[in-house]
Amino acid sequence: MADGVQVADVISTETADDIALICIDNPPVNATGHAVRIGLSSAISDINSAGKAKVIALYCAGRTFTAGADIREFGKPPKQPSLPDVLNEVERSAIPVVSVIHGTALGGGFEIALATHARVAIKGAKVGLPEVLLGLLPGAGGTQRLPRLAGLSFALDVILSGRQVPVSEALEKGVVDRVVEGAPRDVALAAARQVLDGTLTTRRTDRIEAEYDRAVLDATLEGVRRKAPHLFSPAKCVEAVAACNLPIDEGLKVERQAFLDCMETPQRAGLIHAFFGERAVSNIAEAKGPTREIAKIGVIGGGTMGSGIATSCLIAGLPVRLIEVAADGLERGVATITKNLDGAVSRGKLSSDKRDAAIAMLEPSLEMESLSDVDLVIEAVFEQMDVKKDIFGKLDAICKPGAILASNTSYLDIDEIATSTNRPGDVLGLHFFSPAHVMRLLEIVQGKHTGADVLASGFALAKRLKKVGVLAQVCDGFIGNRILAHYGLCAAYLVLDGASPQQVDRALEQFGFAMGPHKVSDLAGLDIGWMTRKRKAETRDPAQRYAGDIADKICENGWFGRKTGQGYYLYDSGAPVPNPEVAGIIDAVRAAKGITPKDFSDEDIVDRYMTAMIVEAARVVEDGTAKRPVDVDMVFLFGYGFPRFRGGPLHYADTIGAAALVERIEGYAAEDAHYWRVPDILRKMAADGSTFADLNKEG
Ligand code: 3HC
């Protein structure tokens, strides 16, 4: 090709004969940041002004087509030209433009392709409009051009799900015109020639009338309000798509306004924090560097946790040797794993072939000695220090040199466990969350002596298992359960002092939690908390008000929640209904303690519960148990059902502000000065006006 011209660093153009090529090269994902927008706009206008080319082919360099708007620019003052303006220029180009999609064309990236006049995709590519997952809507023409090209129902499905559409489906729906094999530049040249010889037809979406059905739009709107009552952007997506029967300029104006409305919401900030947070947790020195090879895994314990961990490893293609002490326990473990895998198949998460391959990679054994050749052992037996130490002592003798020895303990001291071995450098905590083959969180607990390569191997394993690995230091409960213990107490105080369990659950569900804390306890089993309270009875701080009486009395009746058919709720008829006998227990406990019940508003409940969570989360950051606030946030999003649109407890704390939080805690402390204490870190932040987001930046 002759006449190579650099329009901007990230855009290059080539012209030869009748063909002009535009290449976007903005690693890592060709996001349409300011430079790309300027460059693309100039390239289109320059090629049109030169008047030499008869066709323009647009493609991207690197691993993918563009991933859309540069999300890092959101929340900052906008820089012109905007992507919608640039894409209008692309659509109005007198010279037809064909785009070539490889990798993923997402958000504004897919919208670029929609604004071009023909789309050729390279095999394996995917397209999608994931803006809704960031609290936004497609704001560069996607809500107007996709329904025109592929129909209303398909457009609504793609825009509201944010899913990545395989190119075969996109071809079937007429969104892409052709699927081919080859390198992007070669395909671009070939596609341009096909436009020239008339074998690839071009069309402008602004000249296509969208199919329109008010009933479909109404039903969709009702559906999103029912399914995602807390979310702002899904209804805005429907509102924008509903304008696709207008002339395109007017429809684009409606879309623009709806996009700007979404941009202003705290939900957008929360969801984008979640997007970057998911990546930030493993973007640390401890997760990088040399790792040990993990090709075979041993799991000790065939209970719910051990079986879930084994399932997760098998799904990731890692052979597992499952160890139990007795034949019946081993059989139960294998049955649970089989059930887990079958469930994954029926939910469409696993193919039947992969399920069969996973089963074939499972080796049940009653001999701990059979772990002599594995690269990693994950111990998942019950939470008793002497039992764990005994197992780790045996593993030290059995396992080959260099094998990693991990405990799935939720609370216990990894350093003490490691003392029972002669290789504390090989020991770490890998704390999975139940059900371990579903929940994405993995706390990677660093002991005093854990080797750097062992820790990095924990992160590599998390990635292989498609989990979000978060670094935690040793303490009772690590990051998540330690914070849970603190705000769980707050929920118990709320009930003791006047709220009903149902009111607490309702208030927090309205805040955005999928389930209130009492429903969660019923699901997990009330006996778990009962055992913990008994275990900690001797070391309980006498100055702290005891709030476990109500739960203790429920357990004394043998009511452990869902598994026994009753707990805080009754489960006879499927949907939980409040257990009327629990109200009697609550009254009796209050009377025995001389408590006159108070009225709590739903807002007060949320404020107290969230403040309690923030207080302990702040302490966890302050004492270094978590590396940064964002690590705490991701623990809660991926392990505790925290509403993603709120970004996590410490992102949420920033929306309240440290000064307001300090004032709030001091107000609560007037009632209970022992429980409510202002963490030093929060007091300092209130004084200097800093935020948890600032601490994330310091890293
Ligand atoms: N803007 C800025 N940075 C982005 C980005 C974007 N749109 N997409 C990805 N990145 C960054 C990631 O943060 C990461 O940075 P890091 O290396 O510093 O951690 C890097 O690019 C690589 O990303 P991944 O680690 O996610 O790489 P993968 O290969 O696993 O995934 C991907 C690639 C599928 C493109 C994935 O990154 C993704 O889903 N990106 C977001 C796509 C998206 O939501 N686009 C819509 C944006 S909003 C929009 O377009 C509005 C428009 O309608 C006006």
Closest CA relative to residue 613, chosen from 648, 662, 656? 648
Provide the 3-class DSSP secondary structure of residue 634.
helix
**Helix pair angle (233-241, 152-161), 10° resolution:** 160
Half-sphere CA count of 380, side-chain side, radius 13 A = 26
How far is the centre of ligand 1, averaged over its atoms, from the C-alpha of 362 (Å)? 36
Token reading at 26: 């903005």
Residue 535 is predicted with a pLDDT of: 84
Residues across the chain: 699
Q: Which one of the listed residues 111, 255, 379, 616 is annotated catalytic? A: 111
Residue 264 is predicted with a pLDDT of: 94
pLDDT reading at 172 higher than 80: yes
pLDDT in tens, 376-394: 999 999 888 999 999 999 9
**Do 221 and 48 form a contact (C-beta atoms < 8 A)?**
no
How far is the centre of ligand 1, averaged over its atoms, from the C-alpha of 138 (Å)? 15
pLDDT reading at 699 higher than 70: no
Active site residue 111: yes
Question: What is the rounded distance in angstroms from the CA atom of residue 482 to the CA atom of residue 475?
Answer: 8
pLDDT in tens, 576-597: 999 999 999 999 999 999 999 9
**Do 632 and 483 form a contact (C-beta atoms < 8 A)?**
yes
Model confidence band, residue 541 (pLDDT cutoffs 50, 70, 90): confident
Q: Which one of the listed residues 14, 131, 239, 324 is annotated catalytic? A: 131
How far is the centre of ligand 1, averaged over its atoms, from the C-alpha of 108 (Å)? 11
pLDDT reading at 507 higher than 80: yes
Burial class, 98, CB count within 10 angstroms (exposed 0-12 / middle 13-18 / buried 19+) = buried
Active site residue 131: yes
pLDDT in tens, 514-534: 999 999 999 889 998 898 888
pLDDT in tens, 629-667: 999 999 999 999 999 999 999 999 999 999 999 999 999
Ligand 1 pocket, 89 CB below 6 A?
A: no
* Whether complex ipTM tops 0.95: yes
- N-term to C-term CA, the chain: 47
How far is the centre of ligand 1, averaged over its atoms, from the C-alpha of 250 (Å)? 30
Ligand 1 pocket, 67 CB below 6 A?
A: yes
pLDDT in tens, 410-452: 999 999 999 999 999 999 999 999 899 999 999 999 999 999 9
Compute the mean pLDDT over every residue in the chain, rounded to the nearest whole number.
95
Rounded average pLDDT over 260-284: 97
Closest CA relative to residue 176, chosen from 116, 86, 248, 252? 116
pLDDT reading at 5 higher than 50: no
For residue 377, the cross-strand partners are 298, 405
Q: Which atom of ligand 1 is nearest to the CA of 108?
A: 50
Torsional sign, CA 71, 77, 83, 84? positive
The percentage of residues in the chain with a pLDDT greater than 70, rounded to a whole number, is: 99
Burial class, 574, CB count within 10 angstroms (exposed 0-12 / middle 13-18 / buried 19+) = exposed
Residue 1 is predicted with a pLDDT of: 43
Rounded average pLDDT over 146-174: 97
Ligand 1 pocket, 107 CB below 6 A?
A: yes
List the domains of the chain with CATH numbers.
7-264 (3.90.226.10), 295-478 (3.40.50.720), 483-698 (1.10.1040.50)
Model confidence band, residue 543 (pLDDT cutoffs 50, 70, 90): confident
How far is the centre of ligand 1, averaged over its atoms, from the C-alpha of 31 (Å)? 7
Question: What is the rounded distance in angstroms from the CA atom of residue 149 to the CA atom of residue 129?
Answer: 14
The best mutation among 29, 82, 252 to test binding of ligand 1, ranked by most ligand atoms within 8 Å of the C-beta, falls on 29
Residue 575 is predicted with a pLDDT of: 84
| Residue 57 CB neighbours (<10 A) | 30
- Distances from the Cα of 382 to the Cα of 73, 301, 330, 480, 683, angstroms: 48, 8, 15, 19, 39
Rounded average pLDDT over 618-627: 98
**Do 97 and 119 form a contact (C-beta atoms < 8 A)?**
no
Model confidence band, residue 8 (pLDDT cutoffs 50, 70, 90): low
Model confidence band, residue 574 (pLDDT cutoffs 50, 70, 90): confident
pLDDT reading at 684 higher than 70: yes
Question: What is the rounded distance in angstroms from the CA atom of residue 688 to the CA atom of residue 662?
Answer: 13
Token reading at 244: 């696709």
The CA-CA-CA angle for residues 239, 241, 247, to 5°, reads 110
The values of phi and psi at residue 302, to 5°, are: -105, 20
Model confidence band, residue 3 (pLDDT cutoffs 50, 70, 90): very low
Model confidence band, residue 4 (pLDDT cutoffs 50, 70, 90): very low
Ligand 1 pocket, 495 CB below 6 A?
A: no
**Do 87 and 141 form a contact (C-beta atoms < 8 A)?**
yes
Alpha-helical segments (H) within 295-451: 304-315, 327-346, 352-360, 385-398, 414-418
Residue 2 is predicted with a pLDDT of: 39
Ligand 1 pocket, 134 CB below 6 A?
A: yes
Which residue's CA is the nearest one to ligand 1's atom 52? 108
Burial class, 80, CB count within 10 angstroms (exposed 0-12 / middle 13-18 / buried 19+) = exposed
Model confidence band, residue 465 (pLDDT cutoffs 50, 70, 90): very high
The CA-CA-CA angle for residues 512, 142, 44, to 5°, reads 140
Kindly state the helix (H) or strand (E) to which residue 508 belongs, with its residue range: helix 501-511
pLDDT reading at 53 higher than 90: yes
